[in-house]
Structure 1
């Protein structure tokens, strides 16, 4: 069964911009739509690139911030946002068509380890967007016989609630993560996601402050002001199927993994489920086309 027959994905994507759009337009669009990917198209609607939230994080607080914002625009974030074209940050993305079989789509996600695939027609015009969350929605809430610790990321990048947004941008860019749990006194007190950060920086009020030259003040905003609460957790020894159930029920893309004492020891994300779980030794995927569901289970140890 193809993804088109399953109706899997979003048609059309919430955010699509012309290749001549500015980085400012991408930031404002991602903030308004609460999305992480923006396909770029030619005047004819043909796919020519894509900008991700990670690209914007790098532009606002990583290597591109230093090479573009600081070196070319003397640290003027707003001028850089308005004058740099989104195409300068983009790359040509992986894509599929509506008639691509679900099994092939799963293989593409596992092989490439990407967060989204653009759905195009035969002329490469953008039709939709398929994210890891769309794919994970197909995973059944069933026992996998795989523990969370086997697929989670053990490097847990954290920050203090009082640290500034600029710190989150730096950490996200350096460690290539999209979520930063906040810790105070050894306890979890919130979590900041890339959507939280870009949603704040790309809001109308924040853009007005940037245009008025208040970039430094804006980036000094404490993380607790933009964080999401509460932090959802799962025991690192729990079955991955339980983690999938929690994420789907709460509409979130990650859980902080904790040990028996409640101390955080890692983080498990929807991408881990989609791309790492199938790679665990002994795990096989079974696709039930009648139920439009994917079952992952360890069949050998």
Structure 2
């Protein structure tokens, strides 16, 4: 699960001389909220809908509507853009990309390869990647177990699932403390009646069972 697999390739770009009105129209037309800024083939910034609104005259301004329109018409992307946007390589994992967005409190990353802009990845792209990773659109059963965190526990659980004739869509875990961890299984079945007793006999506590339609 790498950035290159989930980014939007060859994003629409503008130059620093592009008027903010043209930039907004471009965003509206293409249903996007951000535009990388390119000058002479080089990335020099990023402009977002929010940035443009931030630098535009406030409606509470004492300026007349004509003065406001005149000032906005003269503004260019250069007046609103972020000059040093955060960039990542295409071979970065989506987990690292998500952490980077959180650390910088941003909702997108520009993807660079050999000093060339090749894509953009947003929070929405990361959510979609996680949906695919966890198999959330595939129907089945979601099973949560509380288990002792020890070597071989996942292999043992997988063996019991296999013996029940059930396919595992996805496995995830979250540590509860230094002793226990929660193991979440997404199973390609609508019946775990034969599996649950086998798990409990092995000392695995069934915390939650639910079905989902994908």
Report the TM range for the smaller structure's normalisation.
0.5 to 0.7
Mapped partners of 1:188, 1:176: distance in 2: 22
Mapped partners of 1:237, 1:201: distance in 2: 37
**Is the counterpart of residue 275 in structure 1 residue 123 in structure 2?**
no
Q: Which residue of 2 aligns with 1:211?
A: 65
Q: Which residue of 2 aligns with 1:175?
A: 30
Q: Number of aligned pairs?
A: 144
Q: Structure 1: any 5+ residue segments left out of the alignment?
A: 1-145, 292-301
How far apart are residue 278 of structure 1 and its match?
Answer: 2.0
Deviating beyond 6 angstroms after TM superposition, the runs of 4 or more aligned structure 1 residues are none
Q: Which residue of 1 aligns with 2:5?
A: 150
> Is the CA contact 2:55–2:79 (under 8 Å) kept in the aligned structure 1?
no
Q: Say if 1:208 and 1:222 are closer, same or farther in 2 by CA, change over 3 A.
A: farther
Mapped partners of 2:72, 2:43: distance in 1: 25
Q: Which residue of 2 aligns with 1:228?
A: 82
Per the normalisation by structure 2, the TM-score is 0.59
Query: Alignment partner for residue 100 of structure 2, among 242, 246, 253?
Result: 246
Q: Which residue of 1 aligns with 2:212?
A: none
Mapped partners of 1:290, 1:203: distance in 2: 49
How far apart are residue 287 of structure 1 and its match?
Answer: 6.7
How far apart are residue 197 of structure 1 and its match?
Answer: 1.4
More helix by share: 1
**Is the counterpart of residue 198 in structure 1 residue 53 in structure 2?**
yes
Mapped partners of 1:220, 1:274: distance in 2: 38
Q: Say if 1:252 and 1:284 are closer, same or farther in 2 by CA, change over 3 A.
A: farther
Larger Rg: 2
Mapped partners of 1:248, 1:188: distance in 2: 23
Q: Structure 2: any 5+ residue segments left out of the alignment?
A: 136-168, 178-214
Per the normalisation by structure 1, the TM-score is 0.43
How far apart are residue 208 of structure 1 and its match?
Answer: 4.2
User: Alignment RMSD, CA only?
Assistant: 2.6
